[in-house]
Amino acid sequence: MAGEQTYANHRHRPIAWSLTWLVSVIVLVALAWNAYRAPSAEAIWLVVLALVVVTTLSLLRTFALTLQNRIIRLEMQVRLTRLGRERDIARLTMGQLIALRFASDAELPALIDRAITERLAPDQIKRAVTDWQGDFLRT
């Protein structure tokens, strides 16, 4: 990904996945409507198949995001250990850890302290980052 990443442009929206999911939902609705209007075993099985496709696509996205969150947690454990702040890992929520990954090592300790004492939400943490470290590998 070219360019600088900032708070304003950091959100990742996978267009191909979104379009695929949307088309599969539209197909599901169309097949369900067809099965309602002209019920048959074939029409019902097509609805079931379309439902399986939508469910599979949804689960694939959920599994990918869960795995990425686990990787981010591991990355943050390594960073915090390197900075001598490993004890803080248990005091931060997963959302806070994910938000803190955008902070540079220099500003990370102060942001951790603020996140814990002020119970900052992930969005508040990201807005507080001054030296933004982009994440160009999120899928």
My answer on whether 92 and 128 are in the same domain is yes
Range of the domain at 28: 14-70
- Separation of alpha carbons 20 and 26, rounded Å: 10
pLDDT at 2 over 70: no
> In the 8-state DSSP scheme, what is residue 49?
H
Q: What is the mean pLDDT of residues 71-100?
A: 94
Number of domains, the chain: 2
4 inside domain: no
Q: Which CB contacts under 8 angstroms, 24+ apart, belong to 92-95?
A: 92/116, 94/69, 95/121, 95/122
Q: Mean pLDDT of all residues in the chain?
A: 92
My answer on whether 24 and 48 are in the same domain is yes
60 inside domain: yes
List, for residues 13-69, the tens digit of each pLDDT value.
889 999 999 999 999 999 999 999 999 999 999 999 999 999 999 999 999 999 999
Share of residues in the chain with pLDDT > 70 (%): 96
Provide Rg for the chain, Cα atoms: 21
Q: Note the pTM of the prediction, 2 decimals.
A: 0.79
Q: What is the mean pLDDT of residues 115-138?
A: 90
101 inside domain: yes
64 inside domain: yes
Domain boundary residue, one of 70, 92, 114: 70
